[in-house]
Amino acid sequence: MQAGQARRADAPVVALVLDAGGARSAYQVGALEVLLPAVAERGTRPRVLVGTSAGALLTAALGATAHLEPDEQTTRLDNVLSHTTKQNVMRPLWRQVPDVVVRYASETLGLSHFRLRGLFGSQPLAQTLATHIDWDALHRNVTDGVIGSVAVTATSVRTGRVTMFTESGSPVPRSAPEYHGRFVAARLDVPHLMASAAIPVLFPSVHVDEPAEAAGWFVDGATRRRAPLAPALELGADRVVVVGTGGLRPPAAEPDLDRVAVDLGDAGATLLGAVMDDPLRHDLRRLTDLNGLTGDAELAPILERHRAARGRDAYRTVPYVAVAPEDGEELARTAIQVFRANHGSLMRTLGDPDLQIVHRLLGSDSPLQGELLSYLLFDPDFFAAAAAFGRRDALRWVEQNPDLWRTDALPDP
């Protein structure tokens, strides 16, 4: 542990929660460039790291650099992001088509040995994670106590059970049935991250072999998780820094827009929104509601007795930082703009037809097309724009909350 990393015994345990987002995770990288130094300036560092889907990839990268100063951490994180371009994430669609056709045909004919598990091959991402995350440093940081726990969330395909693969210096918490989840002690590696980020249908489900008691097929951790903040609290966090990529507030009512004809792309975007955005937004509201109740002198004892009767620890007030886009459509609009500029011409399409094909298949005139593209647009220009939004929103939070932390509900816009 470096000299600057020593933790005061009375310092609160801070958790960093990074939610799902696909290519939108560049927004999180930008936000962390502001938030990690801001937390360090107030005398502490994140000791519990929890990530889901693309957030899990960033979580592992942060765990591997936790012994470094915040500025160096974010520089390393930028480097990891710069290598997650399309060619380093998924196989070209034209190379994947024969495999998809054969596997789909074999299932149609009842030859279940050749199962189709996803439209895009994700082998390049596995190689990228193996190369650009210092796994030895991650394990060393946990062993040395620089960080307490690193957890990544995945979903069991057959049972739908949420699994938090957790590398920790302490025993992992027991399963939490009310969250339909379980903690599993693990030595984290590439398969755990691949499982957490395997968006169903788009990317193939992933078989995790270790630990043996949790072996099986898994997909994206965002698909069934109901309470994104709960794992961090179960792992002992006193304070939570959460960075999401979906709208921080629900979309405004637009009755006229609801009457516009829809297509496959619209349905997909709606499903992704429900999976990626809504749970985090609802869990933040639940956290602030509970903070209000625990601060009530009359209600707090009642809540404590209720929790004790269930064998659970008492609720406590949990200060938080929450950064996510105020305008949930901003990243979608930017994705469309970057797509048209970088992938819309005939020459660009001939050079890399994958996104154009997906764009057409899902309904290129859909008003929600940008929402879908923003999860798949592993493009440096989109990364740069998304990261700038993240830095802007994190700076806004720091300016509006000089003490950094708050416990009450977010003000109305």
Structural domain range at position 240: 14-250+277-329+386-400
In a domain, residue 84? The reply is yes
Per-residue pLDDT tens over the stretch 278-308: 788 889 999 999 888 888 777 778 877 777 7
Contact 373, 367 (CB under 8 A): no
Cite the active site residues: 53, 220
Residue 103: enclosing H or E segment and its boundaries? helix 93-108
Per-residue pLDDT tens over the stretch 87-138: 888 766 656 655 555 555 555 555 555 554 556 777 889 999 999 999 999 9
In a domain, residue 63? The reply is yes
Highest-pLDDT range among 40-49, 117-126, 338-347: 40-49
DSSP letter for each residue of 275-304: HHTHHHHHHHHHHHHHHHHHT-TTHHHHHH
As a whole number of angstroms, the distance between CA 397 and CA 287 comes to 18
In the chain, % of residues over pLDDT 70? 77
In a domain, residue 29? The reply is yes
In a domain, residue 66? The reply is yes
As a whole number of angstroms, the distance between CA 113 and CA 341 comes to 42
**What is the number of domains present in the chain?**
1
Of the candidates 54, 13, 11, 24, the residue with the CA atom closest to the CA atom of residue 371? 24
The whole-model pTM stands at 0.87
Task: Pick the more confident residue, 178 or 77.
Answer: 77
Per-residue pLDDT tens over the stretch 6-26: 455 568 999 999 998 889 999
What angle is formed at CA 87 by the lines to CA 86 and CA 88, rounded to 5 degrees?
90
Q: Which residues pair with 165 in a beta bridge?
A: 152, 184
As a whole number of angstroms, the distance between CA 82 and CA 337 comes to 20
Per-residue pLDDT tens over the stretch 207-248: 999 999 999 999 998 888 888 999 999 999 999 999 999 887
Is residue 59 predicted with pLDDT exceeding 80?
yes
pLDDT of residue 180: 63
What mean pLDDT is reported for the chain?
Answer: 83
In a domain, residue 9? The reply is no
Q: Which residues pair with 219 in a beta bridge?
A: 155
In a domain, residue 360? The reply is no
CATH number of the domain encompassing residue 179: 3.40.1090
In a domain, residue 240? The reply is yes
In a domain, residue 356? The reply is no
